[in-house]
Structure 1
Amino acid sequence: MSCVVAFCSKKSVLVTSLCGFSLLAGMVQAGDLPAVNLGLTTFYDGATIPGGPGWSTSLYSSHYEGRKITDRHGDEIGLPKSTTNIDASALQLIYQDGSRKDVNWGLSFILPVLTKAKVDDGMDNAVLDAQEGFGDLRAGAYLQFEPVMGKNGPLFAHRLEMDVVVPIGKYDKDHAINPGSNFWSINPYWAATLWLTPKTTVTWNAYYLWNGKNDDPSPALYGASAEDVQAGQAVHFNFNAAYALTQQLHVGINGYWLKQFTDTEINGHAVSGRREKVFAIGPGAMYAFSRNDLIYANLYFESEAENRTEGNRFVFRWVHKL
């Protein structure tokens, strides 16, 4: 969602800024941009799924705490009190074919659920009401390329995926924070892992985001005259570096970056000053109980935010081969 009206009061400025914060992939939509993958995937994500071909599942859990709310210049909006707390989870099902030696196709489905959403500005701002429930379905098809091998193991592995966000999540235009976005999105990406040494890797996920129109926007956030809203296009990246302390325990640093590069359109007209941006970095770890069961824990500290909240994010992920 986005906001079209020109706000003057502190309360209204807060609403304008909150219209720009995106959280766990597909789980919460409270801004111009839908929720996207910011830090959900980390170490070795360009490599083939653990356990090999067949069905696998991932369970995600995320907690987000907003430290401040920023304006278009990245400056904090001064308020008597401002807290943001979001808890969300998601279940992912993955199928990968294994019939070819060079490249294999696969499918991915992610269904998120928002379990807690609370935003308090200290001024009883009813516009910030949130609702909980299931989010939008993220469906994807991908090509996983076989790793390039060296004398001491893999050197490079990568994947190309086309994701479509299907707007089936819970949505109510009278709420500022919704599990669903009420519009379609296309979010293709390239994931790659490079082995610098047999124990040292760097991984990245490079995304492009295109959004469709929301034909039922919130009148409280966009004004009564807003008939449709189309969020701007964006790019975002996940990146990390990992080191294998043992065969089971891997540690490193991880981060993400997002930048909206076209304006949101309201009733077909571009609205300037609403583009979102954020950067985050922090520690992470992966532990392999076996080839079929892995857990990831990642902590992110955000900075350089514009038109969105800035805070800390913790992500836990369990990957299991079915």
Structure 2
Amino acid sequence: MVERPKRIRTRTKKSAAGRARLVRHAALALATLAGLSGPATAYDLPSLNLGFSSFLDGAPPAGPGWYPTQYLQVYSAGRLTDNRGRSLGLPRQDISVFASLTQLLYISPVKIGSGALGFDIIIPAIISSSADDGLGGAALKAQQGIGDLLIGPFIQFDPIMGEKGPLFFGRIEAQMILPTGRYDAAAAVNPGSNFFSFNPNVAGTLFLTPDWTVSVRLHYLWNASNDRPNVGFGPAVLSTQAGQALHANFASEVSVTKELKLGVNGYWLQQITDTLANGVAVPGRRERVFALGPGALWALKKENFFFFNAYQEFGAENRPEGQRYVMRWVGHFN
């Protein structure tokens, strides 16, 4: 008569302990789920350009001048992965984010050799977000608000021309991510990262024929320290530094009509160094993901361009794995 309650209490304690370990595991994995790159990008790394640039990336659509651009992105994931690509053991792993990016890009008449100087500014924002862990929010918490400001001076090189038109366009940019966005150390989905990042890139578009192009943008990422790390690291961790990474966008499209182009697009991310906690490397947290999908570009006259790109993620490690849909309008005026 006495032993049965004891066994029941023991199982209850084990169940509570297991649930607590699950929450700690999920919180540790979800260090800073952010808003730009996928809203969210993921556990340690800041929000990045994953899939936002695609067709004709190395070439300005209409020459020098001002390019206001508006992005809308829908991202959803039903799977959060560990360092072996396995799902975390949460009852639910549903994350959804609706994000906006407002960009202003300028290509000036000032030139250095064969390149025109320019700059771009991007203000991201998470309009709405939700995270369902199946535990009443014990492990996952989502935030909305303005994200980290991105600024980048660049050089847009003159095109290499052939007999039938351009053969190659190229650009190099020294992009920086400034920690100006909203950040909560207890949240899994954050608009901001709370640390500075240097994210330079090179972009190029190769014309295989006048109506068929291939574009690639390759980024390198370096991150500064975060003096308010996610609570999942524990109270003894006073600072963290996300590892370095490489990531790329790639796309190929063909002209269906003069105004419409259709193609395929994708992105890739690989963290190449370990995250640091209190200056010590934390193994097993490197992030990786691939994505592929269809896309379209509609040119409305010469000053308005509409892009739609869809992506299905796969091969994720230490990241969410889901679907991303990006809609983009690009204008132009002198």
The TM-score range, normalised by the shorter chain, is over 0.9
Q: State how 1:253-272 maps to structure 2 within 5 Å.
A: 253-272=264-283
Return the match for 2:124 from 97, 112, 116.
112
- Cα distance, 1:30–1:161 mapped onto 2, change above 3 Å: same
Show CA shifts across 1:225-260 (max 9, x none): 111110000000100111011111000000000000
Q: Distance in 1 between matches of 2:328 and 2:219?
A: 20
Return the match for 2:175 from 160, 163, 181.
163
Q: Distance in 2 between matches of 1:121 and 1:225?
A: 25
Shift, 1:20, TM fit: 6.7
User: Counterpart of 2:10?
Assistant: none
Q: State how 1:14-93 maps to structure 2 within 5 Å.
A: 14-19=26-31, 21=33, 23-25=35-37, 31-47=43-59, 49-93=60-104
Question: Are 2:231 and 1:213 equivalent residues in the alignment?
Answer: no
Shift, 1:52, TM fit: 2.1
Show CA shifts across 1:12-67 (max 9, x none): 333333337555249656521001000000000101x2332121111001000103
- Cα distance, 1:64–1:28 mapped onto 2, change above 3 Å: closer
Give the count of matched residue pairs.
314
User: Counterpart of 1:181?
Assistant: 193
Q: If the length of structure 1 is used for normalisation, what is the TM-score?
A: 0.93
Q: Distance in 2 between matches of 1:279 and 1:26?
A: 12
Q: Distance in 2 between matches of 1:122 and 1:212?
A: 33
Return the match for 2:310 from 267, 285, 299.
299
Contact 1:26–1:36 (Cα < 8 Å) also in 2: yes
Contact 2:42–2:319 (Cα < 8 Å) also in 1: no
Deviates further, 57-66 or 122-131: 122-131
Question: Are 2:174 and 1:148 equivalent residues in the alignment?
Answer: no
User: Counterpart of 1:285?
Assistant: 296
Shift, 1:11, TM fit: 3.0
Shift, 1:129, TM fit: 1.4
Question: Are 2:114 and 1:102 equivalent residues in the alignment?
Answer: yes
Contact 1:169–1:182 (Cα < 8 Å) also in 2: yes
Q: Where has structure 1 moved over 6 Å in runs of 4 or more?
A: none
Question: Are 2:279 and 1:246 equivalent residues in the alignment?
Answer: no
- Cα distance, 1:81–1:128 mapped onto 2, change above 3 Å: closer
Q: If the length of structure 2 is used for normalisation, what is the TM-score?
A: 0.90
Q: Distance in 2 between matches of 1:137 and 1:278?
A: 24
Q: Distance in 2 between matches of 1:8 and 1:308?
A: 21
Deviates further, 164-173 or 95-104: 95-104
Q: Distance in 2 between matches of 1:235 and 1:174?
A: 27
SS at match of 2:315: strand
* Ranges in structure 2 where 5+ consecutive residues have no aligned partner: 1-18
User: Counterpart of 1:3?
Assistant: none
- Cα distance, 1:20–1:278 mapped onto 2, change above 3 Å: farther
- Cα distance, 1:23–1:175 mapped onto 2, change above 3 Å: closer
AA in 1 matched with 2:265: N
Contact 2:115–2:156 (Cα < 8 Å) also in 1: yes
SS at match of 2:54: coil
Deviates further, 20-29 or 250-259: 20-29
SS at match of 1:157: strand
User: Counterpart of 1:137?
Assistant: 149
**Larger helix proportion, structure 1 or 2?**
2
Contact 2:30–2:44 (Cα < 8 Å) also in 1: no
Percent sequence identity over matched residues?
A: 44
Q: Which has the larger radius of gyration?
A: 2
- Cα distance, 1:188–1:33 mapped onto 2, change above 3 Å: same
Contact 1:112–1:137 (Cα < 8 Å) also in 2: yes
Shift, 1:117, TM fit: 1.4
Q: Distance in 1 between matches of 2:119 and 2:37?
A: 17
